Structure 1
């Protein structure tokens, strides 16, 4: 935990769900302009229980349910933000966010520019992403690339409870709209990058010990979660754990970079690592073609070409509609990452 924490009142092991709830609790208490709303987030506490107990504590005026209308949720959030509130709107699954895409891209992302700075859009769209619950094609998608592509939006995906809380607090405090993607496979733990291997010491892992009070994690800084000299693995979200598992299983001295913020991107951290190792693998769960990994490959090529000792490898999900029955084959697991490491190290 290298980021500075302030105003803390002790620390405790937390799941990502607990850490996200703690972030919203902290900000609801600190700032009367913060409001939480979305489908089932009030009395029920959200389908994944991330907002459990917040309505009882802060009332129905500040934590409330919305109709099943993603475009309506987005439009209401943008209007609230333009007039001084700091809404945190939950889209129940990332797969449901597409009806709201026009509102997010055409209004929220452009409001500061269209108004010449007269209005801002300080809002957060929280949404669970990725697979891991056998939710099929409409509950398992990873749409980060289509948001990272849009000027005016920030796109964030944490990989652990400590970062989840700090990044969500920073997102709520930010004056630009933030797409905050929450990997479902990491909500409750344990997860160490394998489908069938539990993490017996999950609660003791440093990134799962979370300060109970206020702190923030910068929205534009990557984290080196595993130092190495042989190859750089650029990744984020669930596959941060996959990358670490692959390096440990193979006994390869890989450096794992958790991007945390996809846009703005910490290009300095990427360049420093790839120049050091001379080899690079890009890893993410989303489909390969036009995935965010393609942008990472282009940036590495532009800034590190003369330091590369092998072509950059991509390890991703398949270019198919999300396969319900083959979910764990679809995920890029440690074996596929190890194969990629062997290929780049052979050159």
Structure 2
């Protein structure tokens, strides 16, 4: 059985079902209880689970630090940071404590904590509300980093993240929250962490992308005269290299797309892995279509910053013509 849901509704369904399934799950964050979150992703949960959904002060470090303690003592906290641009205020708790708890305690403690946050551009937000810092979290050993691109994947990946024994940073693309609906399975629905999804199959060129870029890349693939394979890693770390490498070995060409800045972004890591493991299969250098090495602009220049169908299509054409 499946219902047609938007991404924000899939988030709410996953949280509600896990709260009902497992009494150790707690949900908390800024405005998540009474107001249901800034995007209403948690709307109604406090009425359904009044003792396990809480509002928190505007103190990101405290929100994450509390979760580390709750997780170490047997609970499964799900903390919401209102926008990912403000997760930096909690980065020391994420990097120094949540991510290291298992190794620091030599396995005596786990940190089954999920840190949810809206992320990415495209909604005309204010400063610090549109950042894409997934590469920074992927560079933190001990963390898993997840970015969904569809409502069904959102529910499945979030459910798997909540059940995982280690901390997960779960980044929800804000401009996809209400962008479209698709069937989302009711009840127990999981998507394994660390497994990529082949969105479209093709033989001429591989496009690797995630989050909001998947829709842009799919549109770009339809606009070019080529057979394009589109791969969505879904989990930035651990990264499913083999699915990407198998695709590149087949097509011989690759374009990697993300809205984060270009320098030291995840595209650079993916290119490095392709060069390590599939260099002799390449017919052309791997193209990168990314954001720019500048602070995320305010809304008047947002469209010029974000990769779109046209820029991605141009990248595909460059890879095909090289």
User: Same fold per TM (> 0.5)?
Assistant: yes
Shift of 1:323: 1.2
In 1, the alpha carbon distance for the partners of 2:320 and 2:34 equals: 54
Contact 1:162/1:210 (CA < 8 Å) preserved in 2?
Answer: yes
Separation in structure 1 between the aligned mates of residue 296 and residue 245 of structure 2, nearest angstrom:
32
Indicate the SS of the match to 1:287: coil
Can you list the C-alpha shifts for 1:187-216, whole angstroms capped at 9, x where unaligned? 0014xxxxxxxxxxxx4xxxx200121110
Q: Show the 5 A alignment for 1:163-202.
A: 163-190=153-180
Instruction: In structure 1, list runs of 5 or more residues that go unmatched.
Output: 1-9, 191-202
CA contact 1:315–1:336 (8 Å) conserved in 2: yes
- Counterpart check, 1:108 vs 2:108: no
Partner of 1:31: 22
Q: Match of 1:197?
A: none
SS for the counterpart of 1:285 is coil
- Specify the SS of the correspondent of 2:207: strand
Deviations 1:303-335 (A, max 9, x none): 110000000000001111111111111110111
Confirm or deny that 1:332 pairs with 2:322.
no
Give the equivalent residue in structure 1 for 2:244. Answer: 270
Task: Give me the whole-angstrom Cα distance separating, in 2, the residues matched to 1:281 and 1:132.
Answer: 22
Q: Distance in 2 between matches of 1:308 and 1:231?
A: 10
Q: Do structure 1's residue 153 and structure 2's residue 127 form an aligned pair? A: no
Q: Secondary structure at the match of 2:260?
A: strand
Aligned to 1:133: 123
The runs of at least 4 consecutive aligned structure 1 residues that moved more than 6 Å come to none
Unaligned runs of 5+ residues in structure 2 are none
Question: Cα distance, 1:137 vs. partner?
Answer: 2.6
Name 1:295's counterpart in structure 2.
269
Is 1:218 the equivalent of 2:192?
Answer: yes
Deviation at 1:54, TM superposition (A): 0.2
RMSD: 0.7
Please name the residue that 2:152 is paired with.
162
- Count of paired positions: 321
Greater alpha carbon shift after TM alignment, 325-334 vs 119-128: 325-334
- Among 49, 57, 65, the alignment partner of 1:75 is 65
Counterpart check, 1:15 vs 2:6: yes
Name the CA distance, whole Å, in 2 between partners of 1:187 and 1:307: 38
User: In 1, Cα distance between the equivalents of 2:123 and 2:236?
Assistant: 24
Is this contact kept in 1: 2:224–2:317, CA < 8 A?
Answer: no
Indicate whether 1:346 and 2:321 are aligned.
Answer: yes
Q: Which of 91-100 and 133-142 deviates more?
A: 133-142
1:37, CA displacement in angstroms?
0.1
Secondary structure in 1 aligned to 2:248? Answer: helix
Q: Distance in 1 between matches of 2:227 and 2:216?
A: 15
Match in the other structure for 2:39: 48
Any idea what the Cα deviations from partners look like across 1:42-72, whole Å, max 9, x if unmatched?
Answer: 011000000000000110x200000000000
Distance in 2 between residues matched to 1:292 and 1:268, nearest whole Å: 16
The reply to whether residue 314 of structure 1 matches residue 288 of structure 2 is yes
Answer yes or no: is 1:89 the counterpart of 2:105.
Answer: no
Q: TM-score normalized by structure 2?
A: 0.99
1:344, CA displacement in angstroms? 1.2
Pairing partner for 1:236 from 210, 215, 237 = 210
- Distance in 2 (alpha carbons) for counterparts of 1:134 and 1:319: 19
| TM-score normalised to structure 1 length | 0.91
CA–CA separation in structure 1 for the residues paired with 2:214 and 2:77:
29
Distance in 2 (alpha carbons) for counterparts of 1:38 and 1:146: 22
